[in-house]
């Protein structure tokens, strides 16, 4: 698929990217240096690809063009691509090579609703109310594709055995795309998984995330004239508000590391009409899935009680359910060593000026911009525990999974913000993306080269899971919620 013509500003951005000195340290082996240099030479093209996906900003399960761009890049590189897998039109699996081991790389590419933002250091939407890449998934998917192609070149050059496989996983933001792909058996035979996520720092977390269950609760009542016949009506919005009140009272009586949040997606259209339909969208999170299950049952009970008390009815549809990430120290140590070899993100003068303006909009305490170059130690530097949720968690309980973040955003930036969107569409984001691509490529090559590492990582997974572990998901046998963003 041909790339669209990019505006002059993007052409200048890519030129600046090319002018930056290469940062591969001397301790890289000749083989590793060749891989890193090849990726560096290809970085302008990958920056342009990430920029295209950033511009499209397609929401979960609607990433038709974004997914097609990544698939075409892989096909052009010689990968065999299966598209529309797991009953998801925008999901794909791309493979290159033969035999074992099989190393998987995860690629995400969905945007977030309501976060449209220009690539400038001030709040300004491209289109008000439209989506934006506030989690940097335009960079995520592109880096994984770049790393996979670099590994493919390495395999082809040495005629080595082994397989690299890219999993194009839609709708990470609440849609649980990976869970459906797991359920469809698409990960069968994989020995280890390598993945990353954009952030404001270069770090291998070595930590878990929060399990998450989310659903839309739909209340139905009886419409009536709110002034002349209110006694004839039963307000669905009353049901939503009663549920919300009861859940808010629950907050005192759940474990302190629980997160519960909601938005009312529909609440009626006119004050003088008693609403006969209302909907509230809930997320609940906790570090352990078995604890979250009990909390979720209490939320469902609150919904039923609210319906009973307001004379309405309620049902709920699970939109997504993901496990907390199960860390794997074997793979994290390997990825950390490769991140140290690759190094962090170095700003040009123009990028530093951009970053300073972004930094001025961030809350205190401010983090020095030089932290984009450094490697963070979560213990020494006080990096926050990962308190988000991701469907990578479900993958990590079944396959050894490596985690990584790089400074694709200005230090101090949190995800799901306009500042993250702005950086994800800039050369700062592209540089962070290429740090990730280089690190993941080296890690994947190490795993393909050393069967003992794969065996050790698998043994650690089994030990951490414990005897008798059985994976279950609340998604059960439901079909993917392809319309959850509509």
**Residues 152-176: pLDDT tens digits?**
999 999 889 999 999 999 999 999 9
Higher per-residue pLDDT: 377 or 295: 295
CA triple 340-345-347, angle to 5 deg: 150
Per-residue model confidence (pLDDT) at position 4: 36
Report the pLDDT averaged over residues 204-221. Answer: 94
Query: What single-letter DSSP state applies at residue 286?
Result: E
Which residues, at least 6 apart from 152, have a Cβ–Cβ distance to it below 8 Å?
77, 78, 79, 96, 97, 164
Per-residue model confidence (pLDDT) at position 133: 98
**Does the pLDDT of residue 387 top 90, yes or no?**
no
Q: DSSP characters for 185-226?
A: TTTTT--EEE--EEESSBB-------EEEEEEEEEE-B--BT
Report the pLDDT averaged over residues 447-476. Answer: 95
Per-residue model confidence (pLDDT) at position 15: 45
Higher per-residue pLDDT: 18 or 227: 227
Neighbour tally for 399: CB within 10 Å: 21
* C-alpha distances out from residue 454 to 165, 384, 405, Å: 16, 29, 22
Cα distance between residue 169 and residue 354, in whole Å: 32
Per-residue model confidence (pLDDT) at position 385: 59
Per-residue model confidence (pLDDT) at position 379: 66
Cα distance between residue 216 and residue 244, in whole Å: 13
Per-residue model confidence (pLDDT) at position 346: 96
**Does the pLDDT of residue 384 top 80, yes or no?**
no
Cα distance between residue 334 and residue 103, in whole Å: 14
10 membership: H or E segment, kind and range: helix 8-19
Give residue 353's pLDDT band: very low, low, confident or very high (50, 70, 90): very high
Report the pLDDT averaged over residues 257-284. Answer: 97
- Provide the CB-side half-sphere exposure for 472 (13 A, CA): 7
| Residues 311/292/280/261 CA torsion (nearest 10 deg) | 130
Read off the pTM.
0.90
| Residues 164/443/355/373 CA torsion (nearest 10 deg) | -160
Per-residue model confidence (pLDDT) at position 381: 62
156 membership: H or E segment, kind and range: helix 137-158
Domains of the chain: 8-207+326-465 (3.40.630.10), 211-322 (3.30.70.360)
Beta pairing, strands 313-322 & 211-220: antiparallel
Per-residue model confidence (pLDDT) at position 182: 97
Report the pLDDT averaged over residues 46-72. Answer: 98
Give per-residue pLDDT as tens, 419-459.
999 999 999 999 999 999 999 999 999 999 999 999 999 99
Give residue 27's pLDDT band: very low, low, confident or very high (50, 70, 90): confident
**Does the pLDDT of residue 92 top 60, yes or no?**
yes
Beta pairing, strands 192-194 & 211-220: unpaired
- Are 320 and 180 in contact by the 8 Å Cβ rule? The answer is no
Give the whole-number percent of the chain exceeding pLDDT 70.
93
Per-residue model confidence (pLDDT) at position 376: 85
Give residue 12's pLDDT band: very low, low, confident or very high (50, 70, 90): very low
Mean pLDDT score across all residues of the chain: 93
């Amino acid at each position: 698929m041909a790339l669209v013509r990019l505006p002059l500003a993007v052409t200048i951005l890519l030129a600046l990217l090319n002018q930056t000195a290469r940062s591969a340290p001397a301790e890289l082996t000749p083989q590793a240096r060749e891989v890193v240099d090849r990726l560096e030479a290809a970085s302008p093209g990958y920056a342009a690809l990430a920029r295209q996906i950033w511009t499209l900003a397609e929401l979960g399960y609607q990433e038709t063009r974004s997914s097609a761009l990544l698939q075409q890049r892989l096909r052009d590189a010689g990968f065999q691509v299966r598209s529309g897998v797991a009953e998801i039109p925008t999901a794909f699996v791309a493979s290159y090579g033969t035999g074992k081991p099989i190393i998987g790389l995860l690629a995400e590419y969905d945007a977030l609703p309501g976060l449209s933002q220009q690539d400038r250091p001030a709040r300004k939407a491209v289109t008000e109310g439209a989506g934006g890449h506030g989690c940097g998934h335009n960079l995520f998917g592109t880096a994984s594709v770049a790393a996979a192609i670099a590994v493919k070149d390495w395999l082809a050059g040495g005629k080595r055995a082994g397989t690299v496989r890219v999993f194009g996983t839609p709708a990470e933001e609440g849609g649980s795309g990976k869970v459906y792909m797991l359920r469809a058996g698409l990960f069968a035979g994989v020995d280890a998984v390598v993945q990353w996520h954009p952030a404001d720092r270069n770090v291998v977390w070595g930590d878990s995330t929060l399990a998450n269950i989310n659903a839309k609760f739909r209340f139905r009542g009886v419409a009536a004239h709110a002034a002349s016949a209110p006694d004839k009506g039963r307000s669905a919005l009353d049901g939503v508000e009663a549920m919300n009140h009861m859940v808010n009272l629950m907050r005192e009586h759940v474990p302190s590391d629980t997160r519960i949040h909601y938005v009312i997606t529909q609440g009626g259209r006119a004050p003088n009409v008693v609403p006969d339909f209302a909907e509230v969208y809930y997320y609940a999170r906790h570090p352990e899935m078995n604890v979250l299950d009990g909390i979720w049952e209490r939320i469902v009970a609150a919904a039923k009680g609210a319906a009973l008390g307001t004379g309405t009815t309620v049902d709920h549809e699970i939109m997504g359910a993901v496990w907390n990430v199960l860390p794997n120290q074997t793979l994290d140590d390997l990825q950390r060593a490769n991140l140290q070899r690759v190094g962090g993100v170095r700003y040009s003068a123009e990028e530093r000026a951009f970053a300073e303006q972004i930094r001025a909009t961030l809350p205190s305490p401010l983090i020095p911009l030089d932290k984009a170059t450094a490697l963070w130690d979560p213990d020494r530097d006080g990096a926050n525990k990962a308190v988000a949720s991701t469907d990578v968690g479900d993958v990590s309980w079944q396959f050894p999974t490596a985690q990584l973040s790089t400074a694709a955003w200005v230090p101090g930036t949190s995800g799901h913000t306009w500042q993250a969107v702005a950086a994800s569409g800039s050369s700062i984001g592209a540089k962070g993306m290429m740090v990730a691509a280089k690190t993941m490529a080296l890690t994947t090559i190490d795993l393909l080269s050393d069967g003992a590492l794969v065996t050790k990582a698998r043994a650690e997974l089994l030990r951490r899971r414990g005897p008798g572990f059985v994976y279950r998901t609340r998604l059960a046998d439901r079909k993917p919620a392809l319309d959850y963003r509509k």
